[in-house]
Amino acid sequence: MKKLIPAFLLAAFCSLSALAQQTCCMLPTHGAEFTSDKNFQQAHQNPLPFKFTTENGRMISFPVKGGANASAFYVPAKTNSNKVLLVFHEWWGLNDYIKKEAEDWQAALGDLDVYAIDLYDGKVAVNQEEAAKLMNALQPERALQIINGLLRMIGDNKEIATLGWCMGGSWSFQAAIEAGGQSKACVMYYGFPEKDAKRLEAIQSDILYIQATQDKFITNEAVQQFQDKLHKAGRKITVIPFNAEHAFANPSNPQFNKTFTLEARLKVIEYLKNALIR
């Protein structure tokens, strides 16, 4: 018996260690490893001052398990719609540019509910240094709790699409996973690819990935590996490449590529209409 005790304890320790490692790996990445990279910071031009006067939207609050209430900018459908678009902000936070995007996407797609989720709990950056701090401080656990809090409020009788840019593109993917069978579409504007096999297998919708082929941070190799892993997991991903730099279509980018942004938007609209409107 004495000889079995150390082996038993060792096995228990190994099991707990494996569980802890699995839990850690299951948490999504969102590019925080780049926040101290000056080149990454400079790739995101400081947004110009912009004040958006909403026509239909409003800020709402919703409960989150295990933490404080969260908020989102909500643009309600004009009729009782069962279609929902979740919009995820860039590293600047839920600023007026993203609120305008929420209304613009609804206008482009038709009558559906749009929620632009605030992952920063009310904080908004106006320069690169502030954005880097906010993005680095974002806790994956809190972000997932916010997403799931909103999903609970939306209810389980809705069809859901997700969309986001850069950091928000990564969280668009994570939200699609959390939405399970309700997820009908996922748009990632050059989002950081998920690497965990179990998370990749968990997504049930297909994915539209808008790629910047001149991106120095999310490389062509990384996007190809993302594709390969999703295909291996039996998931469908369509990649549309643009010969552009990172953040070329970001709403807050004063130097965004107008031509490519419009071309990408038309592709995304077609994809989302096919997925949600059918």
Q: At 114, is the secondary structure helix, strand, or coil?
A: strand
**DSSP assignment letter at 50:** -
**DSSP assignment letter at 110:** -
Task: Give me the average pLDDT of each 10-residue run along the chain (278 residues).
Answer: 41 36 45 73 89 95 97 95 97 98 96 97 97 94 97 97 97 98 98 94 97 96 97 96 97 96 98 88
H or E stretch covering 130: helix 128-137
User: pLDDT value at position 43?
Assistant: 80
User: pLDDT value at position 242?
Assistant: 98
Helix-helix angle 96-109:258-272, to 10 degrees: 50
Residues 158, 182 contacting (CB under 8 angstroms): yes
- CA atoms of 62 and 93, how far apart (whole Å): 18
User: pLDDT value at position 28?
Assistant: 59
Strand segments (E) across the chain = 58-64, 67-75, 83-88, 113-117, 159-165, 183-189, 207-212, 237-242
pLDDT tens digits, one per residue of 171-213? 999 999 999 999 999 999 999 999 999 999 999 999 999 999 9
pTM here is 0.89
How many Cβ atoms are within 10 Å of 51's Cβ, its own excluded? 5
Q: At 195, is the secondary structure helix, strand, or coil?
A: coil
- CA atoms of 129 and 46, how far apart (whole Å): 10
User: pLDDT value at position 36?
Assistant: 66
Please state, in angstroms and as integers, the Cα–Cα distance from residue 222 to each residue in 42, 225, 229, 273, following that order: 21, 5, 11, 28
Q: Which residues 6+ apart lie within 8 Å of 13 measured at CB? A: none
Ordered structural domains, the chain, with CATH = 31-277 (3.40.50.1820)
Residues 86, 117 contacting (CB under 8 angstroms): yes
- CA atoms of 270 and 277, how far apart (whole Å): 10
- CA atoms of 186 and 205, how far apart (whole Å): 7
User: pLDDT value at position 142?
Assistant: 97
